[in-house]
Structure 1
Amino acid sequence: MQNPRIVVDLVKIKENIDFLSKRIKKNNDISVTAITKSFSAHPEIISVYDACEEIDYLGDSRVENFINNQETSKEKVLVRIPMISEIPEVVKYTDISFNTEIEVIKKLDEEAARQGKQHRILLMVDLGDLREGIFEEEELFSIVEEIMTLENIELVGLGVNLTCYGAVIPTEAILNQLVKYKMQIEACFDVALTMISGGNSSSVYMLEPDTKENLPNGITNLRIGEAFVLGRETAYGKDYQEMHQDVFTLKTEIVEYKTKPSYPIGEVGVDAFGNKPTFVDKGLMKRGIVGIGRQDVDHTAITPLDSRLEIIGASSDHLIIDFTKAKDDYQVGDEVSFSLDYGSLLSCFTSEYVKKEFI
């Protein structure tokens, strides 16, 4: 079976990585953590990341992805706060983890002692996006004070997350606050914080020569995920002309191709997902069904490469498309191709029913 499938152009993703990682490194003493969760840290793509000298760390939110890629030469960073239930695996399979709770950090210390290891951590600071992070300055310094008493935990830096939940765009003022905390902690606790992680792909725009916001001195790390795989910064959604936006293509196969009314016949209730759909009566249309559905991908987050086609809905396993403007060009068994956004890429790689092809 070959469909549905994601086709991955490994040459294009390498060119994306080379261009952006070199831009990041060009005038800045910044390390790069490549986030690998969007493609479930697939070994074929990890090998491309592993070969890039400008990438310093691999970051992911799932410990399982590190377990599946133990041979990589890059250090591994868990960018989601550890669950207490997974702490043994976190200590065993990752080099650095992001943390916000002292109870979790103490458990990491106990487990690191059992395994005879030192475990490095970053403390995440919430600077307004309201996802993870220590929000109150008093709590931040209190946690650092407790960390200093732990024998198997090394505090190596601070981090911030922006745009992922609250959609707060990084600015020089926001990131300067992170640098300020770094300097205060170093002065108060006589510790060197070498990894100040100033956000994700939404911070990339601050490296552009014509930007009004500049990445502050003192930011020493960026976590790059979407920018590598989709060729764009994520603060404003700008595509880079020097990068490829089509590294990944979703391909599906037409399983039904018939002329039908555009409006359901009978009383309309709720669909399989508990929603009451609305329809526009466009008369008869050439309706095609392709073999993928909402179990695999959000149908609102993919776009047919053939602009004549229009997605009109989806159920668990079927995607319904209006082929009316291109009705003579398709038949049952033909493939239909789609571009993806970050969320649809993530879900397609997570689905075991979507095959992966590498070119």
Structure 2
Amino acid sequence: MSTPRIEVDISKIRHNTQTVVGPLKARGICVTAVTKAVCGHPAIARAMLDGGASGLAEARLSNVQRLRQAGLTCPVTLIRTPMLSQVDAVVHVCEASYNTEMAVITALAAAALRQNRVHGIILMVEMGDLREGIMPQDLGNMAQQVLDLPGVALKGIGANFACLGGVAPTDAKMRALSDLANEVEGRCGPFSQTVSGGNSANLPWALGEFATGRINDLRLGEAILLGVDPITGDQISGMFQDAFTLVAEVIETDTKPVRPILYSPDHTLARMQLVPDTFDNTRIILGIGHQDIDPVGLSMAPGDRLVGATSDHLVIGTKNASPSVGTEMRFEMNYSALMRAMAAPDTQTNLHNDQPGPNARAVQDPSRHLALV
């Protein structure tokens, strides 16, 4: 088979979705499945929907178009603030979008009127992560402006955590977001179809002992795809961590000096150690590199270690028996490595177990407790 490739077990993604949807549903929280890490792959999106996700969320318009071209008609929300240059296309393929700029919302409204549609607006609030978001004191004014615009409908508010600033979604933050929803509705009237509390980092809070308040939606990608808590990296019990496997091919294997051999009249340069001094000198070179993956996001087998990578070579040092040229090596990936691998044009995606079972849309018993391990 061709390499590099990603082997995807669709049944494990479906299972992971079911496993998290049930307990969250019991607490009044819907799951919007985020497909941006897999570039809107239609089969993976369908597995999430079969597992009980209420809809899909994407950050890139091209990925949404891929979903639509594959025949998916479920609600899709654009979770990155739309670009002004793309508002017509956003309105055409997305039911709603997350927004922070009135100029963009005004343009979306005009595009919706041209298309005889009503586009949903969810306002993102800055809650400490310092990426996108309206400052809380400005939320009421913007909500009122959205309500006054024909062509758009205010559908709710949302927040983001643990992406740029690493701010965790605490119970206090969630109560503050619920209070903001109440305050805006007190000023503008009932509107909040959605109060989206955040992403996969919210799971420990959402599945804990705290009251959920007004939070009724989470946008989950990493937890479903990889079965881990994005803040701690801990595994989530009952969920698979190996739905995705990267397969790469050995193109060279040899015993080499531990230190580079440098010949230079410049003694400073001669003392430079361009490759780390490692515990081994048996090197494996694979036909992938920075253009294909995030090297530090790959799991290493016992006895192997990452030496380094260039644009198209990955170098591993090993204490194990050297594999022959042409041997395939398999790696699990973290979220960063998965995103880059799925977007790499030379990496093939192979699907396994792509048939939903008879109870594909059934959700897990809500009484089952999920825990991080």
TM-score, structure 2 length as denominator?
Answer: 0.88
- C-alpha change, 1:284 and 1:67, in structure 2 (3 Å) is closer
For residue 358 of structure 1, the aligned residue among 348, 351, 369 is 351
Structure 2: gaps spanning 5 or more residues: 265-271, 353-373
- Give the conservation status (yes or no) of the 8 Å contact 1:59–1:76: yes
Partner of 1:127: 127
Q: What residue is the counterpart of 1:41 in the other structure?
A: 40
Give 3-state SS (helix, strand or coil) of 2:182's partner.
Answer: helix
Match for residue 3 of structure 2?
3
Q: 1:346 aligns with which of 339, 347, 350?
A: 339
CA contact (8 A) 2:251 2:286 kept: yes
1:16–1:231 contact (8 Å) kept in structure 2: yes
Are 2:280 and 2:317, in contact at CA under 8 Å, matched by a contact in 1?
Answer: no
Please name the residue that 2:146 is paired with.
147
User: Which residue identity does 1:13 align to in structure 2?
Assistant: I
2:236 counterpart letter in structure 1: Y
Question: Could you tell me which of 300, 303, 313 is aligned with 1:308?
Answer: 303
3-state SS of paired residue (1:16): helix
Residue aligning to 1:20: 20
Identify the structure with bigger relative contact order (alpha carbons < 8 Å, sequence gap 6+).
Answer: 2
SS of alignment partner, residue 77 of structure 1:
strand
Q: Please give the residue correspondences for 1:286-301 in structure 2 after superposition, counting only pairs within 5 Å.
A: 286-301=282-297
Instruction: Name 1:271's counterpart in structure 2.
Output: none
**Match runs of 1:85-104 below 5 Å:** 85-104=85-104
Q: In the alignment, is the contact (CA less than 8 A) between 1:206 and 1:215 conserved in 2? A: no
* CA 1:282–1:81: 2 relative to 1, 3 Å: closer
SS in 2 for 1:261: coil
- Counterparts of 2:122 and 2:132, CA distance in 1: 12
Q: Which SS does the other structure have where 1:144 is aligned?
A: helix
Cα deviation per residue 1:206-258 (whole Å; 9 max; x = unaligned)?
A: 1334x5xx252210111111000111222433212211111111110100111
Contact 1:251 1:336 in 2 (8 A): yes
Q: Deviations over 1:253-296 (max 9, x none)?
A: 1001111112111169xxxxxxx874344587221111000111
Partner residue, 2:275: 279
Match of residue 332, structure 1, among 325, 339, 357 = 325
SS in 1 for 2:142: helix
* Structure 1 residues 103-135: Cα deviation after superposition (integer angstroms, max 9, x where no partner): 100000111011110000100000111000011
3-state SS in 1 of match to 2:120: strand
The answer to whether structure 1 residue 175 and structure 2 residue 174 are counterparts is yes
Paired residue for 2:240, among 227, 240, 244? 244
Aligned residue number for residue 67 of structure 1: 65
Backbone CA RMSD of aligned residues: 1.7
Structure 1 residues not aligned, in runs of 5+: 269-275
The offset of 1:193, in angstroms, is: 0.9
Matched letter for residue 337 of structure 1: R
Deviations along 1:297-329, whole A, 9 cap, x unmatched? Answer: 12111122x211111011110101113x1135x
Judge conservation of contact 1:198–1:220 (CA < 8 Å) in 2: yes
Residue of structure 2 equivalent to 1:184:
183
Alpha-carbon distance between aligned partners in 1 of 2:273 and 2:29, rounded to the nearest angstrom: 49
Question: When the two structures are aligned, how many residues end up with a matched partner?
Answer: 343
The residue aligned with 1:82 is 82
* 195 and 283 in structure 1: CA distance in 2 versus 1, 3 angstrom threshold: closer
Please tell me the residue identity of whatever aligns with 2:128: G
Which residue pairs with 1:272 in the alignment? none
For residues 134 and 104 of structure 2, the distance between their equivalents in structure 1, rounded to whole angstroms, comes to 13
**Cα separation, partners in 2 of 1:259 and 1:235, compared to 1, 3 Å:** closer
Amino acid at match of 2:216: T
SS of equivalent residue, structure 1 residue 121: strand
Query: TM-score of the superposition, structure 1-length normalised?
Result: 0.91
Q: Residues of 2 paired with 1:252 and 1:281: CA distance? A: 25
In 2: Cα distance, 1:146 partner to 1:175 partner: 25
The residue type equivalent to 1:193 in the other structure is S
> Are positions 1:258 and 2:254 aligned together?
yes
Shift of 1:13: 1.3
- For residues 338 and 218 of structure 1, the distance between their equivalents in structure 2, rounded to whole angstroms, comes to 40
Shift of the alpha carbon at 1:73? 3.6
Amino acid at match of 2:65: I
Instruction: Work out the CA distance in 1 between the residues paired with 2:261 and 2:284.
Output: 18
Partner of 1:223: 219
Q: Quick one: distance in 2 between partners of 1:48 and 1:8?
A: 11
> What's the counterpart of residue 108 of structure 2?
108
Work out which of the residue numbers 53, 58, 69 in structure 2 matches 1:55: 53
CA–CA separation in structure 2 for the residues paired with 1:232 and 1:34: 15
Is the 8 Å Cα contact of residues 139 and 184 (structure 2) preserved in structure 1? no
Q: Residues 164 and 267 of structure 1: is their aligned pair in 2 closer, same or farther, counting only changes over 3 Å?
A: farther
Q: What does residue 230 of structure 2 align with?
A: 234
Distance 1:267 1:84 in 2: 55
- Deviations along 1:127-176, one digit per CA (max 9) or x if unpaired, are 11100001141x21221121121011100100000001111111111111
